[in-house]
A = this chain, B = another copy of it.
Amino acid sequence: MPSGVGLVETRRTVVFDGDRPLRLASGGEVPKVEVAYETYGELNADRSNAVFICHALSGDANAAGHHEDGDPDRPGWWDNIIGPGRPFDTDHFFVICANVLGGCKGTTGPSSIDPATGKPYGLRFPLIQVRDLVTVHRALLAELGIERLLAAVGGSLGGMQAMQWAIDHPGELDGALVIAASARLSAQNIAFSAVAREAIMRDPDFNGGDYYETGKRPDRGLGLARMIGHITYLSEESMREKFGRRIQDAELPRYGFDVDFQVESYLHYQGQSFVERFDANTYLYLGRVMDYFNPFEDPIHVQHQIEAGDTSFLVLSFDSDWRFSTSHAREIAAELRLAGAPVTFREIASPHGHDSFLFPIPDYHETVTGFMGRLARQRGIAGS
């Protein structure tokens, strides 16, 4: 499927600086924050058709389309859902996606230069929370002159941002689309996160997070973390169908400790390609953002916030997702309803596990299209 939005480019803007540093939820500060972002479609005259895409752990600002120097056959990570005639219809909506705070694709994060030292932050970058990611998104919107969104949307960590946004800033979102997300990681989720973090931090080339100027990077550890992650992104069923017990490039097993089974080869490839495009410290920071995420910790506060706003929620899960299973989504829906929010909840049938939110599953895309159409009509703008 060719990209619907075609050629795009990433822009950058400084949203916090000088006497206006970013103040974090923890009380800490980041003196200067630059944001990398992309937009697709046109902002309408009354600035009412903006849709903000929040990306997941390994995402970036390039959600749709391709860059001039990029492969047109490998467009942005959510290209199949963004574009003319697609659920986030760029004939009607102005779609924005920004690399998150703490990221490594153009937005300020641990690999950025700390103005205080002139060197990369490394682990001296402050711990951040989902609400800080939202603060930076809002600063970007302020720059773009947008006060209210038609929708904030995201899968996984992206869904957490949409959820937190609706809770922290009532009256800013018509809709929040919370897809394959969780309101609190389970012990098993935290366990996987811990092992991935350990894999990175135990790599001698990690060097306490200060590897940017050593000529070595913790690629072994980061690759391992990504391999672990991928096991949790796929379903057991999809792994069985994709790989089974088949041997890579051979009929018979080679019997040894090198890669032999196809599933091993797949994980190796995923690990290797990831280290070429991602920063280990960002992986640590965003992993911890998810571990500590707990937006319903104070249900009375959430109820007051929800009552002060008018956001409609679409909460989606996928039946084969065992990272954030449907029980996570049911908890989100139940807690939002308890707080008084209008919530549509649906479990979508899909074999693709947690990764399902990235796939163009008809039932899923139709559900998103329907929800976006209702938001558009409610706001008095044309839907798709």
Contact = CB atoms under 8 A, between A and B. Distances in A.
Interface of A: 26, 123, 127, 184-188, 190-192, 194-195, 197-199, 201-204, 220-221, 224, 227-228, 230-231, 234, 236, 239-240, 242-245, 253, 255-257, 259-264, 267, 284, 288, 291-292, 294
A190 B261 contact: yes
Given A195-B224, A263-B194, A242 B187 contact: yes
Contacts of A256: 127, 288
Contacts of A244: 187
A187 B186 CA distance: 24
Total copies of the chain: 2
B245 A187 contact: yes
A123 B257 contact: yes
A139 to B, nearest CB: 23
A221 B203 CA distance: 9
A255 B245 CA distance: 41
Closest 4 CB pairs of A and B: A187-B239, A202-B220, A194-B264, A187-B243
Contacts of A259: 194
Given A187-B244, A202-B220, A257-B201, A194 B236 contact: no
B186 A199 contact: no
30 contacts: A123-B257, A127-B255, A127-B256, A185-B245, A186-B236, A186-B245, A187-B236, A187-B239, A187-B243, A187-B245, A187-B262, A188-B231, A188-B234, A188-B240, A188-B263, A190-B245, A190-B261, A191-B227, A191-B264, A191-B267, A194-B259, A194-B261, A197-B257, A198-B224, A199-B199, A201-B257, A202-B203, A202-B220, A202-B224, A245-B294
Contact of A26 (B195, B199, B240, B255): B255
Contacts of A188: 231, 234, 236, 239-240, 263
B195 A261 contact: no
A195 B291 contact: no
Contacts of A224: 195, 198-199, 202, 224
Contacts of A185: 245
A324 B253 CA distance: 22
B195 A231 contact: yes
A350 B25 CA distance: 42
B194 A292 contact: no
A283 to B, nearest CB: 11
Nearest to A284: B257
Q: Quick one: which of A127, A190, A203, A292 has the most chain B CB within 10 A? A: A190
A348 B96 CA distance: 52
Contacts of A294: 245
Residue of A231, A242, A259 contacting most chain B CB atoms (<10 Å):
A231
B187 A240 contact: yes
A227 B198 contact: yes
A204 B201 contact: no
B190 A264 contact: yes
Given A186-B240, A224-B202, A245-B187, A231 B288 contact: no
A190 B263 contact: yes
A198 B239 CA distance: 19
Nearest to A264: B194
Contacts of A204: 204
**Which of A185, A197, A264 is most buried by chain B, counting CB atoms within 10 A of its CB?**
A264
